Structure formats: C-alpha cells, structure tokens
Amino acid sequence: MSEHRHGDLSEHGHHHDNHFSDMEARVKALETLLTEKGLIDPAAIDAIVETYETKVGPRNGAGVVAKAWVDPAFAEWLRHDATAAIASLGFAGRQGEHMRAVFNTPATHNLVVCTLCSCYPWSVLGLPPVWYKAPPYRSRAVIDPRGVLAEFGLDLPADKKVRVWDSTAELRYLVVPERPDGTEGFSEAALAALVTRDSMIGTGLALSPEAVR
C-alpha cells in the first residue's frame, strides 16, 4: 500500500527544467575560469562540497533525530511544530524555515520527494544528493515507491504502508526513522552516529549498532 501526500504543486515557485539555473551556470563558469588561471584548487572545492553534503548538514539532522529518540517531550514538539523544535537546536536557515517531521513506525514508512523541483532542507540535511534531483527518482518515487526503495536496498514488508510526502517551496519534510534495536542506554551522540542522510529522506533505515562497530 502506498499513499502520496503533497502540497499544491503550483506553489513550488522554482525553475523546473533539468538544466543549470542561471546562477548555477555562472558559478560553474567562474569556477572553471579560476581553475584554469590556477587561482583555486578543484580538489579543495570538492572537499568543501563533500563536507557540506555528507558531514555538516546531515549531522544536524542526525542530532534532531537522536534527541527525538531519547526525549519524548522533544519528539512531541517535533511532531507538532518541527520548525520551532529544530530551530531550538540552532538549525535553521536556507530552505529549512518551514519543516514537518514525519515519523516511521512499525506500520508505516515515509519517503520524501519533490516532484517538480528539488526542495530540500539544507539546514538539517546539507546539500541534496544528485539522485534526489534526478527526474527518474522524482517521478518513480510517486508511481512506484516500493520499487525505488528496493533499488536502494530497502525491501519493506508487504503489509507496511508507504507514504510519499511531496516537498514544496513552502514546506520541507524530515523523516524520523525508527530507533534501531539494541541501542538502549546509548548517548545522543552515539545514536546520532546511526542516523544517515538517506534514513532522513526515507530511502534507507538508521544503521544498526553492529554496522558502525
């Protein structure tokens, strides 16, 4: 069973083709020019991008999830006013001002997509992965979410409902994955290490304790 939830798609307010925006094209051209003149090191730029893509942003979101796992009051606040709850931890800003948290349960798995563009909560997840912006993911996540999840290596039980949430320019989603078994007594920091970017999009699960040992 799958279910697709979304806002008014006319509200996205983004450029919806699959090419670089004017700003992105200018940045690429400037980067190429500065590289050719020997003024910047492409490897250094790649390292900076990697940091924001996989470390800084996702670690913020992982901290939010870990706190929700250990603090029922915070989890309830996150459920009812994710924007305020996340901001209370100091994570706010670009494309993360209006947030909604959706919680995975034994009966329901949540998946996030932006069908017309690539709306993404940078402040908690960092830079969006390339596949998140790709047309095949954006279309198939709605049409065949179980098939997409299987391609990510996530095979869900047939009786587990899949809900697909469509981000818009006004509202972004954060998936709170289920807390892994065997983590009783873990500190927030230890729990945060189990939370991946993909688990907060819904294309993966939180890691087991064994996976990070």
Does residue 88 have a known ligand-binding role? no
How far does the chain reach from its first CA to its final CA, in angstroms?
A: 35
CA angle, 29 then 34 then 38, to 5°: 145
Q: How far is CA 2 from CA 28, 48, 66, 111, 134, in A?
A: 39, 38, 27, 10, 21
* CA-wise closest residue to 180 among 198, 163, 199, 165: 199
**Set 10, 21, 118, 199: catalytic member:** 118
Ligand-binding site membership of 119 (annotated): yes
Would you call 114 a catalytic residue per the annotation?
yes
Active-site residue, from 2, 21, 119, 123: 119
What are the respective helix, strand and coil percentages of the chain, to the nearest 5? 45, 15, 40
Catalytically annotated residue among 10, 88, 114, 123:
114
Q: Is 119 assigned a catalytic role?
A: yes
Residue linked to tokens 């304790």:
209
Dig out the tokens for 51 from the structure.
Answer: 């940091």
The answer to whether the annotation marks 118 as part of a ligand binding site is yes
Cite the DSSP H helix spans in the chain: 22-36, 42-51, 57-70, 72-80, 82-87, 122-125, 130-133, 135-143, 145-151, 188-192, 197-201
For the record, the structure tokens of 84 come out as 């305020």
167 is known as an active-site residue: no
Q: Does 114 belong to an annotated binding site?
A: yes
Q: Where in the sequence numbering do the catalytic residues fall?
A: 114, 117-119
Which amino acids are annotated as binding site for Fe(3+), given as ranges? 114, 117-119
Which amino acids are annotated as binding site, given as ranges? 114, 117-119
